[in-house]
């Protein structure tokens, strides 16, 4: 998709995390065209950025599911209605023309929507930077792993001590030639069971009380060759490395949303019982939405975005009913009684 274009849609979903993906499905179920925008280069939000390999156990009907598989299933569900994804771009401005929202992205793309549903979670995540080797970002350095298979046969250095770092080290161990986990402290903050697996992996080396101080290689071709780490004592060590994953966590901020005229509660957007914000035809759902008694759970976000989309459908076509019927009522679906 090229930049500086204009897109028209019934619903614009801002945020491609679990709540946004379910919102895209639900909008499609209600017969609405949908565009999904996210600042990250992939769908899945925090799940994919922070814990794609962890088991999620608090979603109804799924006793346990890996984060990556959960996102895949949500996207497959949404894709049945062919939403348009605009990834790696941030919504920066909101205006209203003839009562309808018009959103401008950071590449000057303009999206004219019948309604906007904001599902931005805790805001736009910005990776905590690795002080050394910023010029390698996008080639020999990344802040999370998009595709583990891209690192098959590589020497990978993972930097960090939290769940993300441990997850990536654990995931890459059977794929990469070697994994070196570098942490500036002696103790890890991540899950004990994951740490235990990383410690016992024959292809993984753990270096604590150290920091990465330099990345070297052929920058012109993007080929990283070695990494220097420094112990707190000052002693340095050079490691062979094809890639560095700096899993140092993310800083989240709602960013440009603060300037849109929304009624805010801290870093959240105040909504009413229909998930409406203070702006016309702008809704919010999931962790970014707030109201008295709010509980921030994915299961709650799914209900909120379904509620928001149903109200959007009636906003766009007053002849529709708020209750959409059940998915089992779709053409081609038959109840057990009908089949007997």
Which three-class secondary structure string do you get for 94-137?
Answer: EEEECCEEEEEECCCCEEEEEEEEECCCCCEEEECCCCCCHHHE
- Please indicate, yes or no, if residue 282 is contained in any of the structural domains: yes
Same domain? For 112 and 48 the reply is yes
Is 49 among the annotated ligand-binding positions?
no
**Residue 115: per-residue pLDDT:** 98
Query: Are the C-beta atoms of 209 and 184 separated by less than 8 Å?
Result: yes
**pTM of the entire structure?**
0.74
The first and second tokens of residue 62, run together, are: 């799924």
Last residue of a domain, one of 191, 218, 248: 248
Residues 110 and 258 in one domain: yes
Residue in this structure with the two tokens 């707030």, named with its chain if needed: 290
> Is position 334 within any domain?
no
- Enter the tokens of residue 52: 């794609």
Q: Over the stretch 57-71, which tens digit does the pLDDT of each residue have?
A: 889 999 999 898 999
Cβ proximity of 86 and 36 under 8 Å: yes
What is the phi/psi pair of residue 116, to 5°?
Answer: -115, 135
137 and 216 inside one domain: yes
**Is 290 in the same domain as 301?**
yes
- 3-class state of residue 305 by DSSP: helix
User: What pLDDT, on the 0 to 100 scale, is given for residue 2?
Assistant: 47
* Total of domains in the chain: 2
46 is in an annotated binding site: yes
Q: Is 77 annotated as a binding residue?
A: no
Helix, strand, or coil (residue 244): strand
Q: Is 1 exposed, middle or buried (0-12, 13-18, 19+ CB in 10 A)?
A: exposed
| Among 236, 201, 196, CA closest to 216 | 236
- 1, part of any domain: no
Q: What is the pLDDT of residue 325?
A: 82
Residue 51 marked in a binding site: yes
Which residue in the block uniquely carries the two structure tokens 């209600």? 30
- Buried (b) or exposed (e) across 247-273, using 16+ Cβ within 10 A? bbbbebebeebeebebebeeebbbbee
Q: What is the DSSP letter of 286?
A: G
Would you say how long the chain is, in residues?
Answer: 340
- Please provide the average confidence, as pLDDT, over all residues in the chain: 91
193 labelled as ligand-binding? no
Tokens in use for 53?
Answer: 């390999």
**244 Cβ partners below 8 Å, 6+ apart?**
130, 133, 136, 140, 141, 142, 156, 157, 158, 159, 212, 215, 224, 227
Is residue 135 domain-shared with residue 149, that is, in the same domain? yes
Same domain for 317 and 269? yes
Does residue 340 sit within a domain? no
Percent helix, strand, coil in the chain (nearest 5)? Answer: 25, 35, 40
Looking at the structure, tell me whether residues 174 and 278 fall in a common domain.
no
Residue stretches of the chain with pLDDT short of 50: 1-3, 332-340
Domain enclosing residue 96, as ranges: 6-125+251-329
287 is in an annotated binding site: yes
Is residue 38 annotated as involved in ligand binding? yes
The label of the residue with tokens 């050079």 reads: 238
Q: In terms of domains, do 136 and 285 share one?
A: no
pLDDT for 331 equals: 54
Decide if 312 contacts 274 (C-beta within 8 A).
Answer: no
The token pair at 7 is 């897109």
Judge whether 337 lies within some domain: no
pLDDT the model gives residue 190: 87
Q: Are 32 and 309 in contact (CB under 8 A)?
A: yes
Residues 238 and 283 in one domain: no
If asked whether residues 260 and 325 sit together in one domain, one would say: yes
Domain boundary among 216, 248, 280: 248
pLDDT confidence of residue 334: 42
**CATH number of the domain where residue 12 is located:** 3.50.50.60
**Strand, helix or coil for residue 151:** helix
Residue 143 lies in a domain: yes
The reply to whether 339 falls in a domain is no
Residue 338 inside a domain? The answer is no
What are 32's two structure tokens?
A: 């609405």
Looking at the fold, whether 177 and 321 belong to one and the same domain comes out as no
CA dist 286 and 284 (Å) reads 7
Last residue of a domain, one of 194, 224, 248: 248
For strand 65-66 and strand 55-56, is the pairing parallel, antiparallel, or unpaired?
antiparallel
| 227 and 172 within one domain | yes
């Amino acid at each position: 998709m090229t930049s500086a274009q204009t897109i028209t849609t019934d619903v614009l979903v801002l945020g491609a995390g679990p709540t946004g993906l379910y919102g895209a499905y639900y909008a499609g179920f209600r017969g609405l065209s949908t565009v999904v925008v996210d600042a990250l280069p992939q769908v899945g939000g925090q799940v994919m950025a922070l814990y794609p390999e962890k088991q999620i156990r608090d979603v109804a009907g799924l006793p346990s599911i890996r984060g990556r598989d959960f996102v895949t299933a949500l996207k497959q569900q949404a894709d049945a209605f062919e939403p348009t994804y605009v990834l790696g771009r941030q919504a920066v401005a909101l205006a209203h023309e003839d009562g309808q929202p018009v959103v401008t992205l950071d590449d000057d793309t303009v999206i004219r929507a019948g309604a906007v549903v904001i599902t931005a979670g805790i805001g736009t995540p910005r990776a905590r930077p690795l002080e050394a080797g910023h010029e390698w970002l996008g080639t020999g350095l990344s802040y999370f792993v998009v595709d583990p298979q891209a690192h098959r046969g590589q020497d990978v250095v993972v930097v960090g001590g939290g769940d993300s770092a441990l997850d990536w080290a654990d995931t890459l161990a059977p794929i990469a030639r070697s994994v070196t986990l570098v942490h500036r402290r002696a103790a890890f903050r991540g899950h004990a069971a994951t740490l235990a697996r990383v410690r016992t992996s024959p292809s993984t080396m753990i270096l604590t009380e150290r920091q990465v101080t330099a990345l070297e290689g052929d920058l012109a071709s993007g080929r990283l060759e070695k990494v220097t780490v420094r112990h707190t004592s000052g002693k340095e060590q050079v490691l062979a490395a094809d890639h560095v994953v700096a899993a140092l966590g993310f800083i989240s901020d709602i960013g440009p949303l603060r300037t849109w005229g929304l009624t805010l509660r801290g870093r959240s957007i105040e909504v009413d019982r229909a998930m409406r914000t203070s702006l016309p035809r702008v809704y919010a759902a999931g962790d970014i939405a707030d109201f008295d008694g709010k509980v921030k759970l994915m299961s709650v976000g799914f209900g909120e975005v379904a509620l928001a989309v149903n109200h959007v459908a009636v906003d766009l076509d007053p002849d529709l009913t708020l209750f959409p019927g059940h998915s089992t009522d779709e053409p081609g679906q038959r109840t057990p009684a009908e089949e007997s």
